[in-house]
A and B are shown apart, each in its own frame.
Chain A
């Protein structure tokens, strides 16, 4: 079993370990979860290093490649009659997503330190889900991909339905059903690819080695793109997100908004654009227009929200719009911006939801106008909130800026197959979000954290505990790290994107 398999297996094995611990030792359970995800984080570092060593050697060949080059590949035939394999490996995009997932789940476990209801089942399901997420990012066989994809979506139903708040059953049902409709589209697309290729395989690279007819691409690109788009909060299929996120418990919202929504953008790029480049050229402008709506609509939607979680969820709709917008620009900067935005938004929104959980645990309200002046009693949490907010409005020095300028430049530079003027108009329209985002972020945070303390019992609240400081500190440090040393992560991602661009030509 190679390193990549170990990364997928680590959360799963941790889950198994947790299953065998009696419920009454709930303190031990959370320690096991923390250690297990911590090991995952270490494995991720090793993976990054090994990928980097291997990939930096063939940087030049990648520049002209039209096929994704995988590293640390493990391939086992699984179900021969249908050509299904266990095929895992990494490229630059996966490795950045794996880093994101490892960070979020580790911090998510720390942020759930106080889950006392059914601790065992909670952590077990959470870790199962994470295994699925790692699987999606690391598998390169469509069937395996789809299996992990479902594994990542389904435990969400239980996690929200049992540990959630508010109208949790409704939210859980809505989220699951909408995402399943999306996966149905994706599944149909996969099967169509399987048949159309006639290669009798689900191997992504082999499927990518042939050209599909324009007519086929025209029909199936939007199908797969929208199928993934549902998970990526593509307008108008985004409404599972506000309800789902606001009902979910802290770690689940962190993971869901931070990582799961990225599966959408990831799939759209990895599969839809990679396999169906002609379809992408035909539909690029349409999806650019749709995601422009996403970006502004989410931002304006966030202005009037009163609940911190709804507020963040709408902001996620806006920011995930940047991911799909970047994918739809069909050029190197756009793709890179999309991947960077996935990373950046993942960390940022994970931080947001983690913080909301911490604040809610103290104030027992998430309604913004009911709070006020909290910065005085919880300076650490307020500072982290502001950093997350500034990252979300694209402040340079934090990761959001790097991602957003890539996306804007990508949209503005345009590509050879689309009307560049319309692309520019859409891009300039999308840039208005930087102002709207500033409006809702500053309004929301100023009401909650600044001004005089509105409720006398807030005076007695305490600031973050050590665990909470660790969890938020790691995420803040990551935001700063990516914002200040962007070339490190760009060097990781960029080589993997050349094939995507070259295939379009």
Chain B
């Protein structure tokens, strides 16, 4: 690092380190003895980390102003795990526009969630444990964001997975929460299997190609001597990618570059809950609501998107892998939006909405190429705005659940009068996610649609526009049912506004959801030349807004009032409605595979085989030895007469043989 970079740049490791230290201190020293202090210290550490992230961003963009070149810096790293000479994983901090963007999103949302949680979790039996885990999560997520190589990414990837597991199963004596936490961990673990094999492939070929690459780019002369074969900068290097793609070796006719990117995407799809690995996310709503806001809406689930963005040059180079990303993303966004229209649990609707929006981000990445990188910018932009309005929606849902003690929207109703602040902030977020001007979602969604249209993938563009309408429909459905009409449940009657510690973070997020759309993202986040989508593209805005308005109108006509039209419509659709409501029975398919096939057809027979065959073999050899011994022992009777008989017989036998030989 050159000397004129700022203090924060040289101490960028503080950003993940602060939550880590706080995790250890709170977990070991404070939470067992001083419950309230656990919340305060955990929150302060995240706020400190947030301030550091802002200062870092300010320093970086002072050095490299908006609109210009934005190099990737690794101001701090050390060798952590040396596998063999020439292949080591570093731990370090990577600073570039997207890692800064994510650092800001993660620390900001995390800080607000921490503040909110101090009130939301008040009086809960695991208050200290909750903040310990929340700090662990924030540390892991920040470690993931700043990872300079794929091994650190994988390490933190697993750590966010385990923090998510711990927080989903936070109410550990509630069986449904325990089941959901297991499901989340195992499904994402299965996806990580792909990621792991991808990492193995990349490490091997990275290592193999490294000397060639090093000679060709003059690594030593260009100050790249410390590069490792697993560093992102190396894996994204066009020289490396060209060599990798040119290898003769293929797997079932797929080039190894494409194969490794598809495997890495499998990991990303698991974490970002893309179809068909999405099944864990709706169940993950069993966790406390602030956790859903932080982990399962704003931050952890975008890790998959971030991973694809981080390796974007490699995906784009492969082409096929990028197409896979685009289609999986597009399908998931439609699929989840359709399911979202029928769910009754407010948090599950939001979960499906998250899936759908993550699909948006993925498809935006998938449609961009090395030349047309608008989708890349759009994806990061949507990640940014989505983090705020979705976290806000969850916090609003949390405030509502806190007040009415139920998750079912049909037991709410009429809450706008009792919870005015929650109502207003929820409305802002709903407008934002529906893509209504001038709220944040309008701009980022607009950019994604423009990218899809510009790329020539008209099917994907069509899906995306349709999803925009569906999004507005299901969001306004829950908005109308929850806040309008009359209070339906007992809880709704006694609802009251959330405490200040809860509504203040919500208010702040509402402001962010309203204004972040005007942020000139393309000036800051771009690959190559800044390719801004300036001004308004009517070909995109008109259909998108039209669909959104139709969605809102339909939601209004069906759900304002007593909702008898909605019931009639559901009845009319019959089994179609039922299939959608049952989430297309995907969970049942999984249950069949895991339970019927893996458990009953593999694990049980193996246990049986071990007990009866392998162990039986061992016992049989023991039995054979023993019965052999017993049979032989019959000869030893101890009776002289018997011995005499055998002796005489033996002698007679020998004599007989000798005699016959002689004669």
B contact residues around A177 at 8 Å (CB) = 622
The stretch from A16-24, A130-138, A429-437 touching chain B is A429-437
How many contacts between A and B, using CB within 8 angstroms? 127
Given A305-B607, A397-B155, A487-B82; A239-B618 close (CB under 8 Å) = yes
B contact residues around A405 at 8 Å (CB) = 81, 83, 151
A contact residues around B576 at 8 Å (CB) = none
The answer to whether A452 and B185 touch across the interface, beta carbons within 8 angstroms, is no
The answer to whether A300 and B162 touch across the interface, beta carbons within 8 angstroms, is no
Say yes or no for B501: interface residue by CB 8 A criterion: no
CB distance from A189 to the nearest CB of B (A): 21
Q: In the complex, what distance in Å separates the CA atom of A434 from the CA atom of B161?
A: 14
Say yes or no for A406: interface residue by CB 8 A criterion: yes
B contact residues around A396 at 8 Å (CB) = 154-156, 158-159
The answer to whether A333 and B84 touch across the interface, beta carbons within 8 angstroms, is yes
Q: In the complex, what distance in Å separates the CA atom of A152 from the CA atom of B197?
A: 39
**Main SS class of interface, B:** helix
CB distance from B205 to the nearest CB of A (A): 11
The answer to whether B173 and A373 touch across the interface, beta carbons within 8 angstroms, is yes
Interface string of B607-627 (1 = CB under 8 A from A): 100100011011000100000
A contact residues around B178 at 8 Å (CB) = 446, 450-451
The answer to whether B175 and A438 touch across the interface, beta carbons within 8 angstroms, is no
Say yes or no for A469: interface residue by CB 8 A criterion: no
The answer to whether A300 and B606 touch across the interface, beta carbons within 8 angstroms, is yes
The answer to whether A450 and B186 touch across the interface, beta carbons within 8 angstroms, is no
Say yes or no for B599: interface residue by CB 8 A criterion: yes
Say yes or no for B228: interface residue by CB 8 A criterion: no
Say yes or no for B204: interface residue by CB 8 A criterion: yes
Interface string of B172-195 (1 = CB under 8 A from A): 111100110110011001101100
Interface string of A14-55 (1 = CB under 8 A from B): 000000000000000000000000000000000000000000
The stretch from A257-265, A358-366, A408-416 touching chain B is A408-416
Contact of A376 among B173, B598, B610 (CB under 8 A): B173
Given A431-B197, A438-B185; A490-B82 close (CB under 8 Å) = yes
Say yes or no for B651: interface residue by CB 8 A criterion: no
Chain B interface residue count, Cβ-Cβ cutoff 8 angstroms: 49
Q: In the complex, what distance in Å separates the CA atom of A438 from the CA atom of B161?
A: 12
Determine which residue in A390, A401, A439 has the highest number of CB atoms from chain B within 10 A of its CB, and name it.
A439
Say yes or no for B169: interface residue by CB 8 A criterion: yes
- Give the residue name and chain of the A residue nearest to B607 (CB): A304
Contact of B200 among A239, A397, A409 (CB under 8 A): A409
The answer to whether B615 and A239 touch across the interface, beta carbons within 8 angstroms, is yes
B contact residues around A243 at 8 Å (CB) = 615
The answer to whether A431 and B158 touch across the interface, beta carbons within 8 angstroms, is no
Q: In the complex, what distance in Å separates the CA atom of A450 from the CA atom of B181?
A: 11
The answer to whether B159 and A397 touch across the interface, beta carbons within 8 angstroms, is yes
Say yes or no for A332: interface residue by CB 8 A criterion: yes
Given A174-B622, A452-B175; A301-B607 close (CB under 8 Å) = yes
Say yes or no for B586: interface residue by CB 8 A criterion: no
Contact of A402 among B81, B200, B598 (CB under 8 A): B81
The answer to whether B200 and A427 touch across the interface, beta carbons within 8 angstroms, is yes
Q: In the complex, what distance in Å separates the CA atom of A431 from the CA atom of B195?
A: 11
Say yes or no for B26: interface residue by CB 8 A criterion: no
Say yes or no for B653: interface residue by CB 8 A criterion: no
Say yes or no for B602: interface residue by CB 8 A criterion: yes
Q: In the complex, what distance in Å separates the CA atom of A178 from the CA atom of B158?
A: 39
Say yes or no for B196: interface residue by CB 8 A criterion: yes
Interface string of B195-225 (1 = CB under 8 A from A): 0110011011001000000000000000000
Q: In the complex, what distance in Å separates the CA atom of A23 from the CA atom of B325?
A: 71
Say yes or no for B80: interface residue by CB 8 A criterion: yes
Interface string of A306-338 (1 = CB under 8 A from B): 000000000000000000000000011100100
**Given A303-B603, A333-B83, A375-B172, 18 more pairs with CB closer than 8 A:** A297-B610, A301-B603, A336-B83, A373-B173, A375-B173, A376-B173, A396-B155, A405-B83, A409-B83, A412-B200, A431-B200, A432-B193, A434-B189, A434-B196, A435-B186, A435-B189, A439-B186, A446-B178
In the complex, the 3 A-B pairs of residues with the closest C-beta atoms, listed nearest first: A396-B155, A303-B603, A239-B615
Identify the B interface with A (CB < 8 A).
79-84, 87, 151, 154-156, 158-159, 162, 169, 172-175, 178-179, 181-182, 185-186, 189-190, 192-193, 196-197, 200-201, 203-204, 207, 598-599, 602-604, 606-607, 610, 614-615, 617-618, 622
CB pairs A–B below 8 angstroms (16 shown): A301-B607, A303-B599, A305-B607, A373-B173, A375-B172, A401-B155, A405-B81, A405-B83, A409-B87, A409-B204, A428-B200, A442-B185, A446-B179, A446-B181, A450-B173, A494-B82
